[in-house]
A and B are shown apart, each in its own frame.
Chain A
Amino acid sequence: MQLLFQQIVSGLAAGGLYALMTLGLVIIFRATRVANFGHGEMAMLSTFVAYFLFTTFHLPIAIAVIGAVLFAVAVGIGLERLAVRPLLKGPMASVLMSTLAIYIIVHESAFHIWGGDLYVFPPFFSEKPVQLFNLIISQEHIGIISVSFGLMLVLYFLFQHTKVGLAMRAMAQDRTVAVLLGIRLPRMYAATWALGSGLGAVTGILFAPVISLYVDYMEVFIIKAFIVMVLGGLDSFAGVVIAGLSLGVMENIIAGYVSSEFRDALSLILVILVMLVRPSGLLGTVEIQKV
């Protein structure tokens, strides 16, 4: 029983990261209907920026993180303007290819610069585990869980109680009406990409100390983020949070009781099965096909 609880706590930490990463994707997707396949690689790049700001330039870690997030925001806005917006009017395949090309450009360039080396990212939380009731929990897990839940609350506030959030929700619901109400679409496109990319950078930085920073460290992670996106229903924030946390917990339980070697494969297969039963995801809008 104790083992089960331990697995659930570490699952919640992993799941919190999945949910955060996916929220970045979903924020962009809801507003612009673009699935940004370069999201993970942009997060990887920003994390490298944070790493070098911290180690090479000896900036305090907080400043390094802020610098990296600002970098991500700038890159997000730039990419949206240059590589995504011109294609929005074309077929879906071309914008998809465009974000895949971003993936290749960032990933391969990063590989040429940093190779396959591991970069040890400074931990944010002390390694000493704490005892809670009769559970032994690492501070890292507690830290990740609190930061990710905190950010989710901030996002909830942003979307429910600010004008920008209201505009983003209006855009997701009906773009034509949003324009008629005076919402400036180009500005909102930029805002959603900035928010999504910034969130991606934060997630990348939180994740880096967990498994060390290297060029491929986002490869599996971003795929899981996409899986979570589909599971949650593409455009539902609540669905994504539930799906992210469930995937994290499920994986850790599989790793604990079945096999850690086949953890990724098994969880992906389970997810494909879920998609078969419910293609619209847990809480996604069911699309009715009109002829």
Chain B
Amino acid sequence: MRGWRIVATTAGLLLLGVFPFMVQDYVLYVAMTVAIFGLVALGLNVLFGYAGQISLGHAGFLCIGAYATATFSALGVPIPLGLAGAGVITAIGGLLMGFPAIRLSGLHLAIATLGFGVVVERVFFSWESFTGGGAGLKVVRPSVGPWLLNTNVRFYYLVMGTVFLLTLVARSLLHQKIGRAFQAIRESEIAASALGIDIVRTKLLAFVMSAFYTGVAGGLFAHLIQFLSVQTFNLSLSISFLIMVIIGGLGSLAGSFIGAAFVMVLPELLRPIKNYQALVFGTMALATILFVPGGIFEGLRRVRAPKLTKAVRSRFDRRAPSD
């Protein structure tokens, strides 16, 4: 089994490596969008799928990361530093968002994070000297040392390299103590704190890590689309991220990318029926939630920590009394 996995991973990586030479520029562009949004979904999955903290404000984190990178790039900061810097700045935003989350949960948290996303959108829109306001902001493709990543093919390797590296880091982190702590607070905060897990620290860490990933993705996104406008980072985008995570499977890292592919590629395939694109997409998302909830929550079961008591679990499966 292990040998088979190594072969599969190598083959997958090789395929990703030669991918730019097999497809049109446009397909490549869509593939990069999938990878970048997949990274956001991964970040959100760490927060929601692992630590159980919902967020309706991830478009706000993406926005912070995108504008931070754009600014670093305009100042001539090398791209690896720029991306890392954007991640760190966004992580500070995540820390700020994490403080309310210490006391809030469920619906309250959903609404607080939703408010956070809107605050970011509003502030950035009004802050014209920094973001260009309604006029938008141009971003150029970066260069790494002597190589100018000015074509989609060249930029592709930067995107895939960053995404691959960060996915590996997340994978290894989540298999360690901190990953298990995330799952423990998801299942029951009281039980987790009884086990000696510092709830405040763990929740804040989940927000910081999630925001860092989203910030780096924002940086890549800024360089990919080369033109930033604040209205891109709206509530619909935050909801799309959540749909990616749900469709891909809560707590499944690979699922994050599958979810992103579903959300990003489906509208492209629906392009011929442009006017009904959103309708079909939304309906399909709804249908997935309605008819294959087992498939969607498959991931959740797989990463579920050792079974806790029924009473604790029932807090998560809020059931309506039978009609």
Q: Which residues of A contact B (CB under 8 A)?
A: 32-33, 35, 83, 86-94, 96-98, 100-105, 107-109, 111-113, 175-176, 179, 185-186, 219-220, 223, 226-227, 229-230, 234, 261-262, 264-265, 268-269, 271-272, 275-276, 279, 289-291
Contact = CB atoms under 8 A, between A and B. Distances in A.
A272 B116 contact: yes
A276 B278 contact: no
Nearest to B239: A100
Contacts of B321: 175-176, 179, 185
B107 A97 contact: no
The A interface is mostly helix, strand or loop, or mixed, namely helix
Contact of B111 (A91, A112, A226, A290): A226
B279 A105 contact: yes
A60 to B, nearest CB: 32
Interface in B103-132: 103-104, 106-108, 110-112, 114-116, 118-119, 122-123, 126
B169 to A, nearest CB: 26
B317 A97 contact: no
9 contacts: A89-B320, A91-B316, A98-B286, A101-B289, A105-B278, A109-B278, A113-B275, A265-B123, A272-B116
Contact of A272 (B54, B115, B235, B323): B115
B190 interface: yes
B126 A262 contact: yes
A9 B241 CA distance: 40
B174 interface: no
A98 B247 CA distance: 12
Q: Which of B99, B119, B190, B316 has the most CB of A within 10 A?
A: B119
Contact of A229 (B111, B190, B312): B111
A256 B233 CA distance: 28
Nearest to A91: B317
Contact of A89 (B118, B250, B319): B319
Given A35-B107, A276-B100, A279-B108, 18 more contacts: A33-B320, A94-B246, A97-B246, A98-B286, A102-B282, A102-B286, A104-B281, A105-B279, A108-B282, A109-B278, A113-B275, A226-B114, A261-B126, A265-B119, A268-B119, A271-B115, A272-B100, A276-B103
B302 to A, nearest CB: 15
